[in-house]
Amino acid sequence: MAFEEYDKYEQSELVQKWLRENGVSIVVGIAIGLVGIFGWQQWRGHQAQNEANASELYQQVQVAQASGKSEIASQLTDQLMKDYAKSPFAVFAVSDRAKQQLEAKQLDKAEASLEWAEAHANPAPLKSLTQLRIAQVELANNNGKAALATLDKIPADSYPGLAQELRGDVLVKLGRTDEARKTYQAAMSALGEEAPQRGALQMKIDDLATAGKQGA
């Protein structure tokens, strides 16, 4: 037998021997792989269904709020917090609750609601938005230092215009008008030309300029 043919024969024998010794492992590996694939698909399907359920509940919250049925809206929000805590819709519902609590001057309750929302907010932009709202409540509660600390958590590229404007509001409240003016100007630079809040922001800058002239 030629060396070439011998090599082929030997390789064939080696392959068959390897298959005999490892065939079960290969089959098990394939089975595990298939289970993993189908398990992943099943998990994704479960997640999609959860999000659909949470979305439907949040819509019911909005309808209840619009209809003046605050008690029902609160119960549905509690259900979202309990059963769908990882869903953004739970964060939306709790943030809506915090807004109502803020309007009712229930500042401590609003802050507690937003702290829950921050702890469960995902992805990062939603967490940043929640932190902006926490800082607003802290400012309304005359806790400027806490508001600045909260704003410091927000990444620089996340809502820069809104974050800088709010930081300016906090600095004005703390009497740090020079810093506030620079911060407002930074907020103006971060906002697009068509941003609706540019007018109000310019008024804040003008008010600081007027106050500075009067104090000179």
Number of domains present in the structure of the chain = 1
Residue that is written with structure tokens 């060396």 in the block: 3
Report, as an integer, the average pLDDT of 18-25: 54
Is residue 166 situated within a structural domain? Answer: no
Provide the domain limits for residue 64: 51-127
Is residue 108 situated within a structural domain? Answer: yes
Structure token digits, residue 116: 């829950």
What is the full DSSP assignment across 152-211? HTS-TTSSHHHHHHHHHHHHHHTT-HHHHHHHHHHHHHHS-TT-TTHHHHHHHHHHHHHH
Is residue 109 situated within a structural domain? Answer: yes
Structure token digits, residue 189: 């630079």
Backbone angles phi, psi at 100, to 5 degrees: -65, -40
Secondary structure (H, E, C), 140-158: HCCCHHHHHHHHHCCCCCC
Residue 175 binned pLDDT confidence (cut-offs 50, 70, 90)? very high
In this prediction, residue 9 carries a pLDDT of 45
Is residue 98 situated within a structural domain? Answer: yes
pLDDT(43) > 50 = no
What is the spatial distance between Cα 127 and Cα 211, in angstroms, rounded to a whole number? 36
Is residue 103 situated within a structural domain? Answer: yes
Is residue 6 situated within a structural domain? Answer: no
pLDDT(111) > 60 = yes
Is residue 204 situated within a structural domain? Answer: no
Is residue 63 situated within a structural domain? Answer: yes
Residue that is written with structure tokens 């967490």 in the block: 127
The predicted-structure confidence for 188-197, as pLDDT tens digits, reads as follows: 999 888 888 8
The predicted-structure confidence for 121-150, as pLDDT tens digits, reads as follows: 988 999 999 999 999 999 999 999 999 999
Structure token digits, residue 205: 């800058």
- As a whole number of Å, the CA-based R_g of the chain is 29
Helix runs in 67-103, H state only? 70-83, 88-103
What is the spatial distance between Cα 98 and Cα 94, in angstroms, rounded to a whole number? 6
